[in-house]
Chain A
């Protein structure tokens, strides 16, 4: 069968058994579980330090009510980070390239922030739809624009993550195919392409980490507006 470039993004299955759940839950196995030990090994210490760093960073702008979200936001961050980074290894499947998964993560969380805002402080939430200092004739148009921008947020969150990762993976595949194809005829050009691939890989590592952070950061920002 002819492989297309998009076959790497198809949901994995083995003998008809879908493996998508395993591919989503496997990264959790790589993290050491928190012991009630006083002195742990380096990996556990670093994990603890990292989780503390993330939580502190995310929860600083939020007041006490927002600290309820600490667990889900931190675990979401670790989840996305691990999945994105593991997807850069060869022959691996990245669940976050699936729009279904990213929308499934983004939509409920965004809706939760919106409903929290509408429930606890409805007028303040709705006031965000009109920025301060707009000239009066522009108000109707601006309300419509802001409403659209509000409603498009979950879509934007999901699609941003999907698009970034899919594009990155696709580019890696394309450039490595080019390298392989050029290897027999023009090796020097192949080497140049390999250099490009090397730089792209570094970029992809950065993008993987940044996209996870941006996802969670935007969610925390939406929470800040509405809490």
Chain B
């Protein structure tokens, strides 16, 4: 039988990968004797060889009473008739039933295989597309990069302007303060000077100015 010929635990990983089952079981003739026996005897004895051997052996056992015919023989004949009849009659039906049970599994396996093939095709198409992608991608990426850069620069300018405005304000404030201080001081100085001028000084300065003017008019007249 097929399942007893498979070796057990011959390698480390006895489970995976599972070797595939052969498509058909071992060929048997007359339901009992493997086909290999007939092939083995064929070169020497031809087609009738194994049958001659079988008949000869059977007659030998019977005649020498190595196998004794007793009541068990009759019982054996009975049960073997029943078994052979049952197999011949119900064998194909049972086989068809087993195949029908396997059909569902095969269909699912086929579906899974089909889906995986589809996926492989899909991956292939995508990789093919991937190779046509770069030039287009570079241009688009460039555009986007430029837009981003421009946007960044604008924002940078805005920041700069804002900061400058605040600093200008501070500078203007300081200038204004100093201006005011200067003006105030000048005014004060002027006021104190004006206040310090006494009437005596005024008269003297006016007289001096008149004398200066006379002198100047004389000198002017002299030059003309």
Contacts and interface: CB of A to CB of B under 8 A. Distances in A.
B113 to A, nearest CB: 11
B106 interface: yes
A134 interface: no
A90 B21 contact: no
Interface in A155-213: 172-173, 176-177, 179-180, 194, 197-198, 200-202, 205
Contacts of A205: 82
Main secondary structure of the interface of B (DSSP, over half): helix
A177 to B, nearest CB: 4
A39 interface: yes
Interface stretch (A29-37, A61-69, A99-107, A138-146): A29-37
B21 A40 contact: yes
A49 B98 CA distance: 9
B17 to A, nearest CB: 12
A194 B82 CA distance: 13
Interface residues of B, number: 31
Complex A-B, nearest 3 residue pairs according to Cβ-Cβ distance, in ascending order = A90-B76, A42-B98, A176-B71
Given A32-B3, A180-B71, 19 more contacts: A29-B4, A32-B1, A36-B18, A37-B21, A40-B102, A42-B102, A43-B3, A45-B98, A46-B97, A46-B98, A49-B98, A173-B75, A176-B71, A176-B75, A179-B74, A198-B78, A198-B82, A201-B75, A205-B82
Interface of B: 1-4, 15, 18, 21, 25, 69-76, 78-79, 81-82, 94-95, 97-99, 101-102, 105-106, 108-109
